[in-house]
Amino acid sequence: MKKESQIGKKLKPFVQALPDIFQYQIVTKIVIAVWLFLLGRIFQALLKSSGRVAVTSGDWQFLFTTWQGILILLLGLVSLFIYVAFDLNAKVVLCRNLFLGQKASLKSTLDEGFSSIRKFIGLRGFLVVLYIALVAPILGLGLSITATEGLYIPTFITSFIQDSTLYSALAGAAVLLLLVVGIANLFILHGVVIDGLSVKEAGAQSRRFIRANWKDYVKQNVVFILLIVASLAAIVLLCLLLPLKLIALLPAGPVSRALTIFFVTAGAVVSTLAALFGLPVYLLKMTQLFYSYKQGSEADFHEVTRDKPLRWKTAVALLLIALVAIDVIMYNHFDRFFPLGSDVKIIAHRAGGNEGRENTLSGLDTAWHLGAYGSEIDIQRTSDGYYVVNHDSTFQRVAGVDRKPEEMTLQEVKQLSIDGEPVPTFEEMLTASRGRLVLFVELKGNTADRQMADDAVAMIKQYQMEDECVLISLQYDLIDYIETTYPEMQTGFLTFVSFGKTAALNCDYIGLEEESATADAIDAIHAEDKKVLVWTANEKGSQQHFLCTQVDGMITDNVSQAIELRTELERRSDLDRMVDTFRSII
């Protein structure tokens, strides 16, 4: 009993702070949302003045070669400072006030946080802001802003790094160095915002605190995180897992469905609130540690006096009423909100994926027998003007010959062997796929130009396969040319980074790298009456995720696994359907 009392005492200040944190989070998110809306309109106007609707990974040079692009970059950097001011600096002010038991209006908290950003104007401050906005989210450690919390390294880059021992070692060393830098400077914001120090002085103070107290810091973090996780686990166990376990014992029917909807929706609300409170609560703990390390002994929270008592019962009652209302809507439209099956088309990567020879006729045959909707292939031009199928810049990896397609004649290419099979021509792939598979033809390599586009269109028309081929590329100007010149052809632009009105790009399909294929991005593309491709989803969890989304096609190396997962979706319970849908949205 005594142990429970100690745990309750440790958590009490954080629980009491939740209403203030909630108010702060809602207001700041509204303020930031308004700013981002205005910023988006400014960006769109600048893009429009340059004749564009978006900037993507295919034409990023625009940002450095035009006045509009440079202005967009400058505004973006200014926005990072504004974001840090409202999303972190003001949060530090709030945590200080809560820790010291001081009364302060939300407006004065935001004003103080915003004014402190002046301290970050300079090289050191600029580097701190870049670390918070760009490095911390990727590392998953330390303080970061919500605007970039989903920042990631694209899968194709990580795969490239993992394939090389040297690059893996260099990447590991870089990550370790950045982690050390981040941990050593954890209290920079506290030093600047609370003590009014310069960024240089705050950095020195933070490193001094960490050097002197790193063992205690690790211990305090582990204990605190375990307490929070244990508390959440208890709530989830008692309010979600046990009820759902009991519901599973009931026969399938209206009662079990209604109860499942209620408890899963409640779980989703708890998860949302946990995400909303997570960083501020942790920052409050860091603020306690900051004061403890400053005075050389453990610093205790000061009691917060409130003008009005907290009305927990009223808040819970209102939340329950809202949950019931939402549940009634979900119950009446269950199949629409939580579809049983999946309409996502499975597309084999490089002809047959991992289950067939790469970019070969037999690979196409494998994809067809596995039940794929289509196959993605890569074409390049030979020195004598023919088109052959190959992904890399040379044939070294697949055929052991370190020569480029554009350096070889068709006859020379045909002498190469991919596991005993000759390199196919584009025409041979068209013949093999006709009436069986939709070909997603990527215009690849140094020879991907308008001549390739014209020739590919001519060959597709010759075989009367306009409805069975989609021309795709990482080069937007090439796709724009095909869509404008040959509107009867199906086209797709592949991108892994973009901003602006990406959905308005001139093409039929927009291919998103899996981390950027969010629910919002998919909805925006569909709103423009375009289709969404996601590439390249190979992991089981990733495939199941996208099969439960509204993407139109999924390019993968593991075709049979994806098809098996799609079949399994049709046998899911109500609980599985809801969980899968909520995961896809999150």
CATH code for the domain in which residue 468 is found: 3.20.20.190
Whether 581 maps to a domain, the answer reads no
The domain total for the chain is 2
Strand partners, 376: 440
Tokens representing 570 are 């049709």
Give the pTM: 0.83
Q: How much of the chain exceeds pLDDT 70, in percent?
A: 97
Q: Choose among 190, 209, 188: nearest CA to 293.
A: 209
Question: Which residue intervals of 2-89 are DSSP H helices?
Answer: 2-49, 62-65, 67-84
Instruction: Give residues with Cβ within 8 angstroms of 30, minimum separation 6.
Output: none
Residue that finishes a domain, picked among 304, 335, 366: 335
**Lowest mean per-residue pLDDT among 153-167, 197-211, 443-457, 465-479:** 153-167
18: left (phi over 0), alpha (psi -120 to 50) or beta: alpha
Residues 162, 307 within the same domain: yes
Note the pLDDT tens digit of each residue in 61-116.
888 999 999 999 999 999 999 889 988 999 999 999 999 998 888 899 999 999 99
Whether 50 maps to a domain, the answer reads yes
The per-residue pLDDT for 306 is 67
Residue that finishes a domain, picked among 314, 335, 356: 335
Whether 111 maps to a domain, the answer reads yes
The per-residue pLDDT for 309 is 67
**Lowest mean per-residue pLDDT among 264-278, 309-323, 424-438:** 309-323
Whether 574 maps to a domain, the answer reads no
Note the pLDDT tens digit of each residue in 272-295.
888 889 889 999 999 999 999 999
The per-residue pLDDT for 474 is 92
Residues 330, 428 within the same domain: no
B/e letters for 547-566, b = 16+ CB within 10 Å, e = fewer, are: bbbbbbbbbbbbbbbbbebb
Residues 322, 442 within the same domain: no
End-to-end CA distance of the chain: 39
Whether 5 maps to a domain, the answer reads no
Residues 247, 354 within the same domain: no
Number of CB atoms found within 10 A of residue 381's CB: 24
Strand partners, 395: 401
Residues 154, 230 within the same domain: yes
Residues 289, 359 within the same domain: no
Half-sphere exposure in the Cβ direction for 286 (13 Å, CA)? 25
Residues 266, 151 within the same domain: yes
Residues 486, 398 within the same domain: yes
Contact 129, 153 (CB under 8 A): no
Tokens representing 71 are 């202005």
Whether 4 maps to a domain, the answer reads no
- CA 582 to CA 586: how far, in whole Å? 6
Residue that finishes a domain, picked among 335, 370, 405: 335
pLDDT category of residue 2 using cuts at 50, 70 and 90:
very low
Residues 459, 519 within the same domain: yes
Whether 340 maps to a domain, the answer reads no
Tell me which residue range forms the domain holding 124: 12-335
Residues 390, 331 within the same domain: no
Residues 451, 315 within the same domain: no
Whether 473 maps to a domain, the answer reads yes
